Structure 1
Amino acid sequence: MASTKTVIILGAGWTGLPLAHKLLKYTSIKTSLRVILISPNSHFFWNVAATRALIPGMIPDESMFIPIANGFAHYPVETFEFILGRATGIQPSSNSVAVLTNNGESRTFHYHHLVIATGSSIASGLPLKPIGTHEETLTAWHDLQAKISDARDIIVAGAGPTGVEVAGELAAKFGKLKRITLIMHGDAPLENSRDILPSIRTTLDKDLQKLGVKLIRKTRVETVSVGNDGKTQVLSLDNGSTVVTDLYLPLLGIRLNNSFVTDSFLDSHGSVKLDCNMRVVGIENVWAIGDVSTAGPKQLTVTDNQIIYLASALDAALTEKGPVTPYQPIRQTMVFLSLGKKYAAGQIGNWRLWGVLVSYVKGRNLFIDTARGYVGGKHLRHAPM
C-alpha cells in the first residue's frame, strides 16, 4: 500500500477550509492522504455578513462564528488534524513549516504538499475579518459593536465595497438616530474598482443619499487625533477641513497575512508569486490561493474558480496523474452590494443586475442560513471533481 501523503493547509478561511473538504471528500478515497489544517481561529468567521452584523442585535454571534472542528468531525480521524496556531516560517528544503500554537508551543510539521491560504486582514485592524485567535477577534468584535451602539455620529472612510456596505447598513438601521458620513477619495463610490459600470456607481451614490448618508467627496483623512473632550475623534482632511466624530471607521484596503513567507517568494505588493499552475514560483510542492497570492483579484467572488482548480491540481499531483492544464483566472467583474435590506446593486461582466434581485439573493440574510452547512462541507461553493 502506498505511504500516506500529507497536505498542510495554512489558513481555514474562505479558500483553505473548502479546499480541505474537497481533498478529504474526493482525493482521500483515491490515495492514502492526511490533511492538516492550521489556523489560529477555532471558529469560521462568516464575515460576508459582517457589514450588517457589526450593528448590535442584528445577527447573533452563534450565526457569525461557527466552530471549525465540528465541521470536520465526520471524517476518519487518521485523515484529518486541526491545529490551532499560526505559521512562523517555511523551509522548502526540508518540506517543513514552523508553527507557533495558540498555547505558546513551537512545533514543526512536515508535508508532501503545502498550501498557503492565509488570506488578508482589514488594513486598519478593524475586526471585519479575523484579527488573530477566535477569542481576540470576538473581543474586538464586541468592542466595535459597543462603540457603534454608543456613537451618535459615525464616519466611514473608504468607498470600496466594504466601506459602501458599512455606511449603507448603518444608515438603513439607524436612519436619523445617528449621523452617518462616508468619506471618499474619488467623486463616486467604487471609483477605484476596476471595470465597474458608471450606472452602478450612480445607483450606489443615489441609494446612499436616500438612506441619509452624507458623502464627502474628493478627499482623504490625513490625521486622526483625540478631541478636547477626550472622547471624540478629530479628522484632518487633505482638503484643509476638519471634522469631528464619535466613531471613525477606516476601511481603506487590506493587509496580506504573509509575515511568515520569505520575501523572495513575494511580489512588490506582498502577494505570493504563483506560476501558471498555482504553485509558488520555483517550488514544486508549495501552492497558494486567495488574497495572499497572485491567483486573482482580492475578492471573495472569484475564489470558487481557484478552489476548483487547485483541488484538481493537488488531486493530480497526489494520485500521480501528471500535470494539469494551466490555471485560467476569472476576468469578468463580479460585484454584489447590499445597503440594508431595501437597496442593492450588482454587476456580472458588463451586465448590470436588477437591484431587487441582488437584494433578494444577498440582502435578505447575507447567506447566514448556509453558514453551518458551508463550514461542514455540505454547501461548498463549487461542484465536485
Structure 2
Amino acid sequence: MVKTVVVLGAGWAGLPLAHKLLKYTVPKVRDKLKVVLVSPNTHFFWNVAAVRGIIPGAFADEQLFLPIEPGFKEYGDAFQFILGKAESINLEANEVEVVNNDGHQLSLVYDQLVIATGSQIRNNLPFKPVGTHEETIKAFHALQDHIEAAKSIVIAGSGPTGVETAGELAAAYGERKTITLVMGGDCVLQASNALPSVSQTIESDLRKLGVKLVYKVKVERTESIGGASTDGYSRTSLTLSNGEMLTADLYLPLIGVQVNTKFVPGSLLDATKSLTLDKNMRVKGVPNVWGIGDVGNIEPKQLTVTDAQIIHLAAALDAVLTGQSGGVKDYKPSEKPMIFVTLGKKYGTGQIGGWKLWGFLVRHVKGRYLFVDIALDYVGGRRLRHASM
C-alpha cells in the first residue's frame, strides 16, 4: 500500500524538504511512497533578494521568480504538485481540504502531513508571496513603480527587512530620494538580540548612505493624501507616537510577520497562531503532523535556521517512513543569534553568537548577489542555502 506525505507550502522549508524525501527516502521504499507538494505558486519567490529587487532593474524577474515544477520532473510518479491552498485539516480522518487555483475543492488523504506554509509581511507588502505567482509578481511590479516615482520614502520597522530595505534604497538612489527609517526601540535590530557593536555599525553605515533615523517612536496613525492608487499606495501623512508628523510619497510598514495558519485547528496553535511543536518538530499531540519554518514556535522566524530544520525533519520522516520510528531524534534549536545584514553592495556586517563578523566577509558572501547566484540550484533540489542536499 502506497504511503503519502503531503507537504503544504513550497517555500524555503517545504520545497527542499520535498526534494530530500524524494531523493533519499523514496528509493528505500520504492513504489510505496508518494510526496504531494501543495502551493498556490507556480514559482518560487527568491525573496531574500526582495530588499534590492524592489529597485527597478536591480534583478530580472527570472532571477527572483523561478518555476518549481521543472526541478521535480526526475522523480516521476513518486511526486505530485498541486496548485492550491489548504482550507482545513480533518485530524481524525487524516485529510486536508485544498482549494486549487481554479476554485475546485479536493480532499488529500495523508499518512504524514508537513505544514510549511510560512508567513507573510503584515499589511501584505510583496516582500513575501501575496497569493498566486501572478498576483505576487503584479504586486511586486506595482511596488517597483512606486519606488521609482517616490521622492520621499518612510520605512517603519528596524528588523532585518526594514534595515536592509532602507540601506538598499539609499545606496541605489542617494540624494535623489529621502529615506527615513522609523523604529520603536533605541537601536536597530533590537528584537534580534544584535550585539551593540553590530547595531552601531549598521546605524553608522545607514547614516553614511543618507538614511534619516528616527528612534523610540511608532507610527500610530496614517492618512492617505489625495486618495490611494488602484494598487493601494498613496502619498501618506503619518502621525508618530511622540506627536510629530511625517509625510511620505511612499510608506512601507515592515513591522513583523503573520503566520499562514488560518486553516489549522486552533487547538494546535499557540497565542501567536504558530504551530505548537514538540522536541521532534511534531505538532504536539498529533503523531503524524509536523511543522517547519516560520509556522513553528521552536525557533525565531528567521531564514538562517531553515537548513538545520530541513535536515532534521527529513531524517525524522525518513525514520518513520522506513519503519524506524525509534530513530527520530530531538531537534536542537540554535542558541546562537545569526545575523547577516547588507546595505547595498558597499556596506555589511553581522554576527554569529557573540562574535561580530568582518564586514568584508558579509559583503562578499551576501552583499554582492543576495544569493540569487545559487537560486536555481536551491529550487532545483541540488543544494540547501549553506549545506549540501
TM tier, shorter chain? over 0.9
Alignment match, 1:11:
9
Please state how far the C-alpha of 1:336 moved relative to its aligned partner: 0.4
2:367 is matched with: 363
Partner of 2:145: 146
Secondary structure at the counterpart of residue 159 of structure 1: coil
2:320 and 2:378 map into 1 onto residues whose CA distance is 26
Whole-Å separation in 1 of the counterparts to 2:386 and 2:16: 9
Does the alignment pair 1:293 with 2:296? yes
How far did 1:327 drift? 1.2
Equivalent in the alignment of 1:61: 61
- On the 8 A contact 1:295/1:306 being kept in 2, the answer is no
Q: Distance between the aligned counterparts of 2:25 and 2:184, measured in 1?
A: 47
Say if 1:322 and 1:238 are closer, same or farther in 2 by CA, change over 3 A. Answer: same
Match status 1:269 vs 2:272: yes
* Structure 1: distance between partners of 2:235 and 2:5: 49
Partner of 2:231: none
What are structure 2's unaligned runs of at least 5 residues?
Answer: 229-233
- Check whether the contact 1:308–1:382 (CA below 8 A) recurs between aligned residues: no
- The code of the aligned residue for 1:73 comes to K
CA distance in 2, matches of 1:296, 1:158: 21
Displacement of 1:217: 1.0
8 Å contact kept, 2:220–2:241: yes
Say if 2:180 is the partner of 1:177.
no
Aligned residues: 381
Contact 1:22 1:384 in 2 (8 A): no
Aligned CA RMSD, in angstroms, stands at 1.2
Secondary structure of the residue that 2:75 maps to in structure 1?
coil
1:381 to partner: Cα distance: 3.4
Kindly provide the CA deviation profile for residues 9-45 of structure 1, in whole angstroms up to 9, marking residues without a partner as x.
0000000000000000000110121000000011000
Query: Structure 1 residues 376, 331: CA separation in 2 closer, same or farther (over 3 Å shift)?
Result: same
Residue in structure 2 matching 1:220, options 218, 221, 224: 218
Partner of 2:72: 72
Mapped to 2, the partners of 1:381 and 1:217 lie a distance apart of 34
Alpha-carbon distance in 1 for matches of 2:272, 2:116: 17
Say whether the 8 Å CA contact 1:15–1:289 is kept in structure 2.
yes
Instruction: Indicate the residue corresponding to 1:127 in structure 2.
Output: 126
SS where residue 165 of structure 2 aligns?
A: helix
Matched, 1:207 2:205: yes
* Cα distance between partner residues in 2 of 1:28 and 1:227: 57
Q: Is the 8 A contact 2:307 2:384 kept in 1?
A: no
Q: 1:26 to 1:228 in 2, by over 3 A?
A: closer
1:158-183 CA-partner distances (Å, limit 9, x unpaired): 01100000000000000001110000
**What does residue 20 of structure 1 align with?**
18
1:380 shift after superposition: 2.3
Contact 1:289/1:295 (<8 A) preserved: no
Tell me, what secondary structure is at the counterpart of 2:325? coil
Q: Specify the SS of the correspondent of 1:29.
A: helix
Gap change, CA 1:364 and 1:383, over 3 Å in 2: closer
Contact 2:342 2:367 in 1 (8 A): yes
- Unaligned regions of 5+ residues in structure 1, if any? none
> TM-score with structure 1 length normalisation?
0.97
Q: How far apart are the structure 2 equivalents of 1:192 and 1:24?
A: 37
Q: Which amino acid aligns with 1:197?
A: L
User: What amino acid is aligned across from residue 16 of structure 1 in structure 2?
Assistant: G
Indicate if the aligned counterparts of 1:171 and 1:212 stay in contact, CA closer than 8 A: yes
- 1:322 corresponds to which residue? 325
Match of 1:374 in 2: 378
Distance 1:209 1:28 in 2: 53
Change in 2 beyond 3 A, CA 1:89/1:68: same
> In the alignment, which residue of structure 1 is the partner of 2:239?
236
Partner SS, residue 11 of structure 2: coil
Equivalent residues of 1:190, 1:201 under 8 A apart: yes
On the 8 A contact 1:51/1:165 being kept in 2, the answer is: yes
1:250 to 240, 245, 253: 253
* Cross-structure match for 1:354: 358
Classify 1:22/1:129 alpha carbon distance in 2 versus 1 (closer, same or farther; 3 Å).
Answer: same
Q: 1:154-193 residue pairs with structure 2 within 5 A?
A: 154-193=153-192
**Paired residue type of 1:314:** L
Match runs of 1:299-338 below 5 Å: 299-323=302-326, 324-338=328-342
Q: Supply the distance in 2 between the matched residues of 1:293 and 1:229 (Cα, whole angstroms).
A: 39
Q: What is the match of residue 50 of structure 1?
A: 50
Shift of 1:103: 0.4
The answer (yes or no) to whether the contact 2:163–2:188 under 8 Å persists in 1 is yes
Listed one character per residue, the Cα deviations across residues 338-371 of structure 1 (whole Å, up to 9, x for unaligned) are 1000000110011100011100100000111111
Paired residue for 1:278, among 273, 278, 281?
281
Identity %: 56
Aligned residue for 2:184, secondary structure, equals coil
Q: Secondary structure at the match of 1:137?
A: helix
SS state at 2:174 partner: helix
Deviation of 1:198 after TM superposition, in Å, equals 0.4
The one-letter code of the counterpart of 1:60 is: A
1:71 CA displacement = 1.3
Task: Measure how far apart 1:374 and its partner are.
Answer: 0.8
User: What TM-score does the superposition give when structure 2 sets the normalisation length?
Assistant: 0.96
